[in-house]
Structure 1
Amino acid sequence: MNFTEAEILGLVGAFIWPLMRISAMFVVLPVFSIRAVPARVRLILSVALTLAVMPLLPALPAVELFSYAGGLMAVQQLAIGLVSGFIVQLVFAALVFAGQGVAYSMGLGFAAMVDPQNGEQVPVVAQFYVITGTLIFVGLDGHLLLIRMLLDSFTTLPIGMAGLATADVWTVIAWSSRLFAGGLLLAMPMIASLLLVNVCFGVAARAAPQLNIFSVGFPITLMLGILLIWVTLPDVLDQFSGLLTDAYELIGHLLRL
């Protein structure tokens, strides 16, 4: 059996183009992008999904793999995969932002641990929110839903020169403001309550200067903060689920689903 050079390049392109889109998503997809997951695991999953989706792909354009047009197609596939995972990553960044605000308000800003998502030091409260949000994300099969949406995008947004438009990029940039708005919305009840407590301690310190406000206020603020985290956790998780829903709606809009 003999193969021409054009046939070999066509087969390689039919494998490389979807692999780029799928592997780019796994690079930034929560749960799979953490440092605890080896790179070879992401590679094996990407190759397996690519082999599974190859027979279902529509006809690919006749573009040489190593050409200027091929480079533009590669950039489009990488952009589609990266944007799909990046939007979900912003939702988890909102949890980190909210946890940092709560931790600093209750005096736990100095207590930090390594975040497995990005390998950086974050307050323990933020880490608690991230772990809880990850359990919700996996429990709702959010990772499977995103993988399915990306695989469906090969039909609605086929491999070719056309992909994400400039308006889509500006939509993602505008939606990234939800990182701060959503994080502030998650943490606002606790921050406002702890601010009121600190104001009361400030008034008490002015009324009774002999009172050691630091030795009295820190344990009370810490215990009240832990109590507020426990009381508001269901509402925080509801808000997190709402942010995830909005993120998936945006991804569906960008992938033309």
Structure 2
Amino acid sequence: MAGLDDAALMTFALTATAILIRVSLIVTFLPVLGEDFAPVRVRALLALALTACLIPVVPVHAGALPETTGELAVLMIPEFILGLLLGLTARLVFAAVQFAGQLAGEQIGFGIASIFDPVNNAQISIVAQLYYLFSILIFFAIDGHHLLLGALVQSFEIVPLFSVNLPGSLLGFFGREVAHMFTLAVIIAAPIMAAMLLSNLALGLVSKAVPQINIFIESFPIHILLGLTILGLTFGAFGALLATQFTRLDGALGQLLQLLQ
């Protein structure tokens, strides 16, 4: 009886650990809570709370218990990879937003006026930070966190514990997602980039017509005023585009899980 109890306890601990690994990776990539400036204790408590909620509904490990550290690693590493892939896929939308803001900020002339980004431990354009904060608001406004948590729960149904498959087609999937990220970034930054291009063309014509004007100095306030105007006019369309992309994310996560099963 004691041996049976020990085996049941080990099976429960193995299952709970695997669930915690998947959950922790998703929590790590959540907006706000997953950032470096968020307290580690808060993230840990959230991961533990979600794990406690999932333990009753996730089937326990029915296979043989690992007897060595190597066997344990073979079981746990695929679970870590699955959680990492889900989190990275979800994070690509925010990466596109920040890249678009960086492009737009450089075009407007805010390249010098950068601020420290505690998320990436690097200098980032003010416009990129503004875009990122706005994307977080849209994400929570359309219940994007529910989408990620739903994908987490669905992952245990589509890809049961310790049955993760890692096919070569994953490379093609992430290649398409990264390409979509860059395309999305260009689409977001396109209005400001187009406006700055037209502004530079107009200023070039003025410089040819009136050589006495120092166009280089005069272009700074013109670019900033024009850039901020375009920024304000396109925020509504930007929000609608983000909502569409977060909705698309649900399908991308589902496709990823199908590849991993």
TM class, shorter-length: over 0.9
Q: How does 1:90-239 map to 2 (within 5 A)?
A: 90-239=92-241
Unpaired stretches in structure 1, ≥5 consecutive residues: none
Residue 224 of structure 1 and its aligned partner are, at CA, apart by 0.6
Question: C-alpha separation between the residues in 2 aligned to 1:127 and 1:245?
Answer: 22
Residue 169 of structure 1 and its aligned partner are, at CA, apart by 4.1
> Identity of paired residues, percent?
30
Bigger mean CA offset, 201-210 vs 110-119: 110-119
Off by >6 Å, runs of 4+ in structure 1: none
Q: Residue 58 of structure 1 contacts residue 155 of structure 1 at CA under 8 Å; is this kept in 2?
A: no
- Taking structure 1 as reference, are residues 169 and 44 closer, same or farther at Cα in structure 2, changes over 3 Å only? farther
Question: C-alpha separation between the residues in 1 aligned to 2:109 and 2:103?
Answer: 10
Residue of 243, 246, 255 corresponding to 1:241: 243
Q: Residue 26 of structure 2 contacts residue 84 of structure 2 at CA under 8 Å; is this kept in 1?
A: yes
Q: How many pairs does the alignment contain?
A: 257
Q: Residue 30 of structure 1 contacts residue 88 of structure 1 at CA under 8 Å; is this kept in 2?
A: no
The one-letter code matched in structure 2 to 1:11 is F
Residue 97 of structure 1 and its aligned partner are, at CA, apart by 1.1
1:31 is matched with which residue?
Answer: 32
Question: C-alpha separation between the residues in 2 aligned to 1:158 and 1:73?
Answer: 12
Question: C-alpha separation between the residues in 1 aligned to 2:44 and 2:198?
Answer: 50
The one-letter code matched in structure 1 to 2:25 is A
C-alpha RMSD of matched pairs (Å): 1.9
SS at 2:115 equivalent: strand
Residue 182 of structure 1 and its aligned partner are, at CA, apart by 0.5
Residue 67 of structure 1 and its aligned partner are, at CA, apart by 4.4
Q: Is residue 25 of structure 2 the alignment partner of residue 11 of structure 1?
A: no
SS at 2:56 equivalent: helix
Q: Residue 79 of structure 2 contacts residue 164 of structure 2 at CA under 8 Å; is this kept in 1?
A: no
- Taking structure 1 as reference, are residues 29 and 169 closer, same or farther at Cα in structure 2, changes over 3 Å only? farther
Question: C-alpha separation between the residues in 2 aligned to 1:92 and 1:132?
Answer: 10
SS at 1:176 equivalent: helix
Q: Residue 186 of structure 1 contacts residue 236 of structure 1 at CA under 8 Å; is this kept in 2?
A: yes
The one-letter code matched in structure 1 to 2:125 is P
Question: C-alpha separation between the residues in 1 aligned to 2:115 and 2:64?
Answer: 48
The one-letter code matched in structure 2 to 1:40 is R
Question: C-alpha separation between the residues in 1 aligned to 2:213 and 2:130?
Answer: 34
The one-letter code matched in structure 2 to 1:36 is F
SS at 1:81 equivalent: helix
TM-score by length of 1: 0.92
TM-score by length of 2: 0.91
